[in-house]
Structure 1
């Protein structure tokens, strides 16, 4: 019975999410294009993206518990650094932390709706198979950070197969060191149980999100020192959330 329920929920979610992103998302971008006030238009689109992030969990009949929202910087851009448990981490961050730009894998460039919003949010596409293009993408991200864009980074480089935090990839926080933009560590627990890596069906449940205090990269002597510190903050947060989720 539970498998049938989850299958129906999954089909419902994929249908409504596709319609929402492609058709309603297209309408939102078109409407913003017609607005004369460009600042007002951008605020409108960003608000709609935030709504999508929150509605994604409503469609899955799943609650999100957020801790530390007061730590989100209000007066400048920053780099969200989070662990990566599932594909639901993206709407989670967009809806409850920041409507920032992504360093997205090259394959997402071909997905209608998704690629529109990656571009709109000033994201960059990273082709790991082509070192020259990868370097160019990172340089582009650095320039955008210097111009005030907020970025969202998953330093593990892939989704965790069991929910545990993987080691952060070498140089994954180099953009923070190069720009001096504050890092906002975020711990996620629960999205792994909604839809783990390698599975396509959803199971509704509760998700916990902990937003830590911002970290100034200028206080560290190297990218490695900053990376290990932020990784430890995120790991401790995940363990705390896991203990709370298990109760």
Structure 2
């Protein structure tokens, strides 16, 4: 039944999602070029509220739980498991006060209304996975911007999306590069569940009536821990939250 409803409801979601991207592309341009970073960021935040709201055309729901008293004005590295592109708008919206920047594939920085513009001008890192030197350089630059502006970052240490929701091994390279330039950053795990089920059948039809959940877990002070030790700690905490072995 859910798949059948997906044939009916997916077009409504895609129309809503696509219109938001098209409408906010010129809004972003105006905000960035006329009013600067703060106005541009605000436009991106609002865009992602609309993108997240488009999930509800499918009957899917978003529950974002953050019971942690995280500091404002200190850089944070949010480390999350990755299940689908639907992970991202709720992270941008609900973590907006932390100025969280994303690490994205460089291919996404061209050709996508609103998304590509934000990736080029929003302050994140666009990495070429085929060029290790370029990737490290971009991460180091992001770490420097985090340090200078008290920005935060969201990274997906699995390196690729999980197609069945099972958490893959976390890699420490990304968090290590960021901590080299921003050693005072706080490490915060985020456990994401059920977003993979939205694309269980592919891009069409999308799955329907899925209760998606994001939960911010207890922060970790990096201290003298290595990047790999931190990655393993975060991986285990997320698995525990998701009740995975």
TM-score (norm 1): 0.84
Contact 2:24–2:47 (Cα < 8 Å) also in 1: no
Aligned length: 237
Find the counterpart in structure 2 of residue 135 from structure 1. 136
- Say yes or no: does 1:102 pair with 2:102: yes
Distance 1:214 1:175 in 2: 19
Q: RMSD in angstroms over aligned alpha carbons?
A: 2.4
**Match of residue 238, structure 1, among 224, 230, 242:** 242
Distance 1:19 1:49 in 2: 10
- Say yes or no: does 1:168 pair with 2:170: yes
Given the superposition, is the C-alpha separation of residues 3 and 46 from structure 1 closer, same or farther in structure 2, using an over 3 Å criterion?
closer
Given the superposition, is the C-alpha separation of residues 75 and 196 from structure 1 closer, same or farther in structure 2, using an over 3 Å criterion?
farther
Contact 1:102–1:153 (Cα < 8 Å) also in 2: yes
Find the counterpart in structure 2 of residue 243 from structure 1. none
| Residue 227 of structure 1: how far off its partner (Å) | 1.3
Which digits, 9 at most, give the CA deviation of each residue in 1:90-126, with x for residues without a partner? 1121122345211101110123321111233211110
| Residue 5 of structure 1: how far off its partner (Å) | 2.2
Which 4+ residue blocks in structure 1 deviate beyond 6 angstroms?
none
Contact 1:170–1:224 (Cα < 8 Å) also in 2: yes
- Say yes or no: does 1:87 pair with 2:77: no
Matches of residues 14-33 of structure 1 in structure 2 within 5 Å? 14-31=14-31, 33=33
Distance 2:63 2:142 in 1: 31
More moved, 94-103 vs 156-165: 94-103
Contact 1:185–1:212 (Cα < 8 Å) also in 2: yes
- Say yes or no: does 1:151 pair with 2:153: yes
Matches of residues 1-247 of structure 1 in structure 2 within 5 Å? 2-31=2-31, 33-35=33-35, 38=36, 41-42=39-40, 44-98=42-96, 100-112=100-112, 113-147=114-148, 148-178=150-180, 179-180=182-183, 181-196=185-200, 198-204=202-208, 205-218=210-223, 220-239=224-243
Distance 1:86 1:235 in 2: 17
Which digits, 9 at most, give the CA deviation of each residue in 1:161-205, with x for residues without a partner? 210100012423213432221111100111111224855432121
Distance 1:30 1:208 in 2: 34
Contact 1:6–1:202 (Cα < 8 Å) also in 2: yes
Q: Which secondary structure state, in structure 2, belongs to the residue aligned with residue 217 of structure 1?
A: coil
Distance 2:86 2:237 in 1: 21
Distance 1:176 1:150 in 2: 10
Q: Which secondary structure state, in structure 2, belongs to the residue aligned with residue 103 of structure 1?
A: strand
More moved, 196-205 vs 231-240: 196-205
- Structure 1 unmatched runs, 5+: 241-247
TM-score (norm 2): 0.85
- Structure 2 unmatched runs, 5+: none
| Residue 57 of structure 1: how far off its partner (Å) | 2.8
Q: Which secondary structure state, in structure 2, belongs to the residue aligned with residue 160 of structure 1?
A: coil
Given the superposition, is the C-alpha separation of residues 173 and 32 from structure 1 closer, same or farther in structure 2, using an over 3 Å criterion?
closer
